[in-house]
């Protein structure tokens, strides 16, 4: 298999998903995982309607994850997962860490949260520009950092202490002269001269650094302990120690701590490009939604950003697809609708059959691959077929759909007629929904020439239920059409048992179009279409043909 499947592949239906769309995503992702392995994930591009919620609850199947937009995000870039470091890290060790990792930026963290950023430029500027001998005490440098930086050993004192006051002094003069230079709390760099060491201790230096690995007399150690003076020995000479010691400073003294430019994993890369381009530094911290540090990205990571991978089910129209689909990598399309406007960057696996349900196609694919259909999968496939074919009453229903439904009914262990009644009743029980929510529960947009048309549909076995829905929806039709930018809006109230639909409408040419499409001369706010129950095969083709004429 192509290594693309090692990354997540989102199997997703259209916006305003119906039962066929959701069940197709779940069952096809399951089929792909069983046949090819990989990481196929069923998703949804909108909120579930009552009918679909009933089906998933009935078969105890989790609701697929909601994906609002599939544009490329920061999480799709190659994130440099260099661990965050402590702000107490020395400049020397920070420089080494950056050099070893081949980066120019380090992120300091505390309890997983970003606390600052230091760059190689910050370190160089500090090393080249800072000449203040008090800088180490001002930075609260730890003796551990000093020892590590000088490759030394602390032989008197506590390595966990921090330098709090004083300056760095080189004891190059005579003891008499040093009395005018050394102050209490200073760090004194010196050699193996006993008198100089003793002088520094008696002047209450906080620390003496004995160079070139010289032995330290026991009396000096005892005096140092009595005065609270630490002693560090180092193999380096005075010049090297003087050059290195400022590198023991902790990075939190020089790092940037405020107004940090960070990006979140869920941000879209097209939204952050301009920000990155305007900044001088090359690496930027990445955080998760809880503000925990994840890693870093740089400008060059844009080149390797991988588009999200999609398999589209139950649609092939651009305006029905999840937001950002045109920026994703579409691998497959499984559908039973007319061919429309989805464009792909390369060839894809495309399966389109004139059947009543996408799940009938997926049922056939299970059979073709020889994959056993378990009880839950059978229930989901059956539900979708019953929903889309209106329990085999829709003109879109074929003998293949009916045969598939009957076999799946046996596999699922349900009486399909009784189950369908429960399912349709759940779908038409809309008492808690607003008119706008009802209109958009099962709603699709279509583009015909230069016109945008919206068609919604509600199916029920109860004429009384449909009348209640009509009374609730009718006053909102015009407002919804304007909000959705539609030239015409049609809403089908389909009576499954009577195999007819009452169509209510909005838009200046809507009534004329309906009358022309079906050879009628209705003047009322409702058009009764006897025998018309399918949006896809009956209402939409007639409207399209009328508009194009």
Q: Are strands 230-233 and 153-156 parallel, antiparallel or unpaired?
A: antiparallel
* Interval 61-98: pLDDT, tens: 999 999 999 999 999 888 888 899 999 999 999 999 99
Kindly state the average pLDDT of the residues 181-192.
Answer: 92
Q: Are strands 526-530 and 500-506 parallel, antiparallel or unpaired?
A: antiparallel
The proportion of the chain whose per-residue pLDDT surpasses 90, expressed as a percent, equals: 72
Q: Are strands 283-287 and 207-210 parallel, antiparallel or unpaired?
A: unpaired
Q: How confident is the model at residue 383, as a pLDDT?
A: 97
CATH number belonging to the domain at 140-248, selected among 3.40.1390.20, 3.40.50.1820, 3.90.70.10, 3.40.50.9100: 3.40.1390.20
Kindly state the average pLDDT of the residues 313-326.
Answer: 92
Residue 3 has pLDDT above 70, yes or no: no
Task: Locate 325 and state its tokens.
Answer: 């689909």
Region for residue 259 given its phi and psi (left: phi exceeds 0; alpha: psi -120 to 50; beta: otherwise): left
Kindly state the average pLDDT of the residues 258-270.
Answer: 91
Which segment of 89-93, 116-120, 147-151, 432-436 scores lowest on mean pLDDT? 432-436
Q: How confident is the model at residue 465, as a pLDDT?
A: 87
Residue 123 has pLDDT above 80, yes or no: yes
Cα–Cα distance for residue pair 478/152, rounded to 1 Å: 82
* Confidence band, pLDDT 50/70/90 cuts, at residue 157: very high
* Interval 515-528: pLDDT, tens: 999 999 999 999 99
Residue 4 has pLDDT above 50, yes or no: no
Kindly state the average pLDDT of the residues 185-198.
Answer: 92
Kindly state the average pLDDT of the residues 451-478.
Answer: 92
Can you point out the beta strands (E) in 241-359? 263-264, 283-287, 293-298, 309-313, 329-335, 349-352
Q: How confident is the model at residue 78, as a pLDDT?
A: 87
Task: Kindly write down the DSSP assignment for every residue of 493-521, as one continuous string.
Answer: EEETTTTEEEEEEESTTHHHHHHHHHT--
Kindly state the average pLDDT of the residues 99-106.
Answer: 91
Q: Quick one: fold of 75-126+253-302?
A: CBS-domain (3.10.580)
In the block, residue with structure tokens 């080494």: 96
75-126+253-302 shares its CATH topology with 435-548: no
* Interval 202-245: pLDDT, tens: 999 999 999 999 999 999 999 999 999 999 999 999 999 999 99
Q: How confident is the model at residue 460, as a pLDDT?
A: 87
* Confidence band, pLDDT 50/70/90 cuts, at residue 43: very high
Residue 281 has pLDDT above 80, yes or no: no
Residue 189 β-bridge partners:
170, 209
Cα–Cα distance for residue pair 357/469, rounded to 1 Å: 26
What is the average pLDDT score of the chain?
92
Q: How confident is the model at residue 282, as a pLDDT?
A: 75
Residue 129 has pLDDT above 50, yes or no: yes
Q: How confident is the model at residue 342, as a pLDDT?
A: 79
* Interval 407-426: pLDDT, tens: 999 999 999 999 999 999 88
Residue 171 CB partners (closer than 8 Å, separation 6+): 178, 182, 188, 189, 190, 191, 193, 196, 199, 200
* Confidence band, pLDDT 50/70/90 cuts, at residue 1: very low
* Confidence band, pLDDT 50/70/90 cuts, at residue 360: very high
Domain ranges of the chain: 3-72+308-427, 75-126+253-302, 140-248, 435-548
Q: Determine whether 461 is exposed, middle or buried from the number of CB atoms within 10 Å of its CB (0-12, 13-18, 19+).
A: middle
Residue 271 has pLDDT above 50, yes or no: yes
Residue 8 φ/ψ, nearest 5 degrees: -60, 140
Q: Comparing C-alpha atoms, which of 358, 397, 369 is closest to residue 24? A: 358
CATH assignment of 435-548? 3.10.310.20
Long-range contacts of 346-354 (CB under 8 A, 24+ apart): 352/316, 354/398
pTM of the model: 0.71
Q: Of 277-291, 295-309, 337-351, 354-368, where does the model show the most confidence?
A: 354-368
Residue 104 φ/ψ, nearest 5 degrees: -115, 10
Domain spanning 3-72+308-427: which superfamily? inorganic pyrophosphatase (n-terminal core) (3.90.1640.10)
Cα–Cα distance for residue pair 469/476, rounded to 1 Å: 12
* Confidence band, pLDDT 50/70/90 cuts, at residue 429: confident
Q: How confident is the model at residue 2, as a pLDDT?
A: 43
The proportion of the chain whose per-residue pLDDT surpasses 70, expressed as a percent, equals: 98
Residue 444 has pLDDT above 70, yes or no: yes
Residue 176 has pLDDT above 80, yes or no: no
Kindly state the average pLDDT of the residues 494-511.
Answer: 93
Residue 284 has pLDDT above 70, yes or no: yes
């Amino acid at each position: 298999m192509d290594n693309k499947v090692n990354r997540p592949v989102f199997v997703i239906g259209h916006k305003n998903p119906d039962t066929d769309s959701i069940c197709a995503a779940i069952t096809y992702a399951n089929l792909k995982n069983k046949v090819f392995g990989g990481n196929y994930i069923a998703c949804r591009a909108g909120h579930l309607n009552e009918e679909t919620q009933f089906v998933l609850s009935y078969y105890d199947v989790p609701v697929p994850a909601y994906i609002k937009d599939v544009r490329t995000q920061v999480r799709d870039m190659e994130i440099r997962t260099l661990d965050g470091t402590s702000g107490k890290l020395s400049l020397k060790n920070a420089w080494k860490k950056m050099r070893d990792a081949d980066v120019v930026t380090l992120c300091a963290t505390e309890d997983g949260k970003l606390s600052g950023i230091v760059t190689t430029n910050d370190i160089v500027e500090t090393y080249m520009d800072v000449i203040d001998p008090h800088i180490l005490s001002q930075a609260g440098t730890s003796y551990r950092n000093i020892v590590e930086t000088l490759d030394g050993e602390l032989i008197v004192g506590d390595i966990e202490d921090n330098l709090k006051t004083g300056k760095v002094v080189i004891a190059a003069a005579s003891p008499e002269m040093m009395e005018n230079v050394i102050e209490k709390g200073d760090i004194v760099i010196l050699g193996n001269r006993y008198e100089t060491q003793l002088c520094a201790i008696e002047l209450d230096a906080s620390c003496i650094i004995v160079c070139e690995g010289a032995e330290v007399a026991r009396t000096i150690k005892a005096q140092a302990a009595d005065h609270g003076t630490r002693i560090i020995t180092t193999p380096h000479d005075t010049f090297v120690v003087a050059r290195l010691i400022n590198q023991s400073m902790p990075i939190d003294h020089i790092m940037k701590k405020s107004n940090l430019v960070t990006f979140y994993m869920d941000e879209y890369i097209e939204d952050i490009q301009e920000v990155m381009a305007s900044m001088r530094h090359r690496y930027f911290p990445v955080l998760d939604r809880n503000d925990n540090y994840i890693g870093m990205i740089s400008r060059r990571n844009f080149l390797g950003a991988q588009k999200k991978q999609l398999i589209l089910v139950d649609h092939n129209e651009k305006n029905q697809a999840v937001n950002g689909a045109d920026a994703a990598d579409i691998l497959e399309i499984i559908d039973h609708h007319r061919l429309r406007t989805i464009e792909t960057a390369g060839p894809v696996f495309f399966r389109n059959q004139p059947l009543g349900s996408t799940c009938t196609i997926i049922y056939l694919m299970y059979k073709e691959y020889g994959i056993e259909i378990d009880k839950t999968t059978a229930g989901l496939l059956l539900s979708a077929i019953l929903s889309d074919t209106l329990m085999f009453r829709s003109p879109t229903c074929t003998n293949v759909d009916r045969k598939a439904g009957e076999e799946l009914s046996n596999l699922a262990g349900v009486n399909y007629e009784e189950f369908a009644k429960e399912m349709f009743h759940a779908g038409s029980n809309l008492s808690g929904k607003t008119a706008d929510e009802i209109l958009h529960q099962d709603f699709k947009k279509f583009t015909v020439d230069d016109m945008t048309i919206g068609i919604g549909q509600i199916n029920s076995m109860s004429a009384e239920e449909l009348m209640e829905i009509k009374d609730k929806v009718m006053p909102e039709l015009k407002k919804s059409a304007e909000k959705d930018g539609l030239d015409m809006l049609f809403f089908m109230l389909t009576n499954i048992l009577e195999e007819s639909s009452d169509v209510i409408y909005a838009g200046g040419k809507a009534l004329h179009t309906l009358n022309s499409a079906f050879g009628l001369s209705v003047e009322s706010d409702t058009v009764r279409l006897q025998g018309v129950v399918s949006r896809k095969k009956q209402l939409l083709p007639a409207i399209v043909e009328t508009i194009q004429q």
